[in-house]
Amino acid sequence: MVATEKRTKYVKEAALADSNSNTKAIDSLLNYETVKYFNNEQFEANRYDEALHKWEQARRSNRLSLFALNGGQAFIISAGMTAMMMLAAFNVHSGEMSLGDFVLINTFMMQMFIPLNFLGFVYREIRGSLANIDRMFELLDTPPKVVNKGNSTKLNLSSGSIEFDKVTFAYDDKRPILKGVSFTVPAGKKVAVVGDSGAGKSTLVKLLFRFYDIDSGDIRLDGQSISSVTQESLRQEIAIVPQDTVLFNDTIFNNVSYGRPDASEDEIYQAIEMAHLKTFIESLPDGYQTTVGERGLKLSGGEKQRIAIARAILKQAPIMLFDEATSSLDSRSEKSILEAMDQLASQHTSLVIAHRLSTIVDADNIVVLSQGQVLSKGRTMTF
């Protein structure tokens, strides 16, 4: 048992090395375009070879420790059997035992040898398996940073107003992102948030979805603090068109239906048409059953973003968030998408994160962020 416990260290090292090598391989394959852009195929191959070499060393140590343990166990059992048989043979020779007694002892020892060997094998396998899933147990034991409070209630929206009240937040205590941000998005209105990169615009979206808890202040929907309602009911009432749209390696139809899996086919087709995707999809050989590839790599940025817009339309949430929703569109596509967005925004409370003026010209209010603070608010921008 002591030897098995010591060997567990080698099992963990082998599992960690295997995980690291797989991570490097997957990372290189998923980002193959970046690898080719910078002509770094050999660099990535060398990184993977290095990771494999570490795995080979860890695996070798693991197997050698297993062989040593098996050999040690077999030696101890064999030595015990040999000693017992020699003692029995000596007693037979001295006349204290009969030949039948010798055969009985031999049979008895053979009956003990198999279970003892099997018991050692089972114990080693169990300890090795537990070592391999230790990391999973650690992950399961890690408490989530954002949890529902014990007295959390379901969010009950009637109009859909949004209020940021002196919100302060930082991913790292050394670098605050938002510093006392306050503004309101009235129900049914469209408010745009603009500012330099790193001003904290996209962080507002993450906080509204409650991916993180704020450090101080409050965020309220229809007067209800988002920290006092369940995360499920909160996210059910918000739809988003993100800046970076991530698609599943599935068909276009299924990717759109992900916005609301229980939606009817007619509702899905209607959302696709409103997002100006119908003509593009019908021009494809497989139409709606076209597979988009890993993370949607077979589609252009604009096509992926229109799928994201179709998802948001399909969700039918009272609050709409647009995080640089037209950043990947050309001018022609942008015009048609803006028309759909305007039609969508007119029926919802809308918060628009934007750099392009074209997406905010019809906003009811414009909030300018600078270095995590509200610089100005109004119908015109002041930097």
Three-state DSSP string of the chain: CHHHHHHHHHHHHHHHHHHHHHHHHHHHHHCHHHHHHCCCHHHHHHHHHHHHHHHHHHHHHHHHHHHHHHHHHHHHHHHHHHHHHHHHHHHHHHCCCCHHHHHHHHHHHHHHHHHHHHHHHHHHHHHHHHHHCHHHHHHHHCCCCCCCCCCCECCCCCCCCEEEEEEEECCECCECCEEEEEEEECCCCEEEEEECCCCCHHHHHHHHCCCCCCCEEEEEECCEEHHHECHHHHHHCEEEECCCCCCCCCEHHHHHHCCCCCCCHHHHHHHHHHCCCHHHHHCCCCHHHCECCHHHCCCCHHHHHHHHHHHHHHHCCCEEEEECCCCCCCHHHHHHHHHHHHHHHCCCEEEEECCCHHHCCCCCEEEEEECCEEEEEECCCCC
Domain regions of the chain by residue span: 2-141, 162-378
First to last CA, the chain: 70
Q: What are phi and psi of 348, to 5 degrees?
A: -140, 165
Dihedral of CA atoms 18, 21, 24, 30 in degrees, nearest 10, equals -70
Cα–Cα distance between 97 and 83 in angstroms, integer?
Answer: 16
Residue 280: count of CB within 10 angstroms of its CB:
19
In whole angstroms, what separates CA 232 from the centre of its chain?
17
Residue 6: count of CB within 10 angstroms of its CB:
11
Residue 110: the pLDDT is 77
Same fold, 2-141 and 162-378: no
Give this prediction's pTM.
0.71
Residue 333: the pLDDT is 64
Residue 268: the pLDDT is 92
Residue 343: the pLDDT is 67
Residue 381: the pLDDT is 54
Cα–Cα distance between 337 and 102 in angstroms, integer?
Answer: 93
Q: Letter for the amino acid at 69?
A: L
Is domain 2-141 given the CATH code 1.20.1560.10 in the classification?
yes
Is domain 162-378 given the CATH code 3.40.50.300 in the classification?
yes
Residue 266: the pLDDT is 92
Residue 229: the pLDDT is 92
Splitting the chain (383 residues) into consecutive groups of 10 residues, what average pLDDT does each group show? Answer: 64 81 84 75 88 87 77 79 86 84 82 74 71 75 86 87 93 88 91 86 91 93 92 91 86 91 91 87 90 83 85 90 73 67 73 76 86 83 51
Match 């890690």 to its residue by tokens.
142
Residue 344: the pLDDT is 66
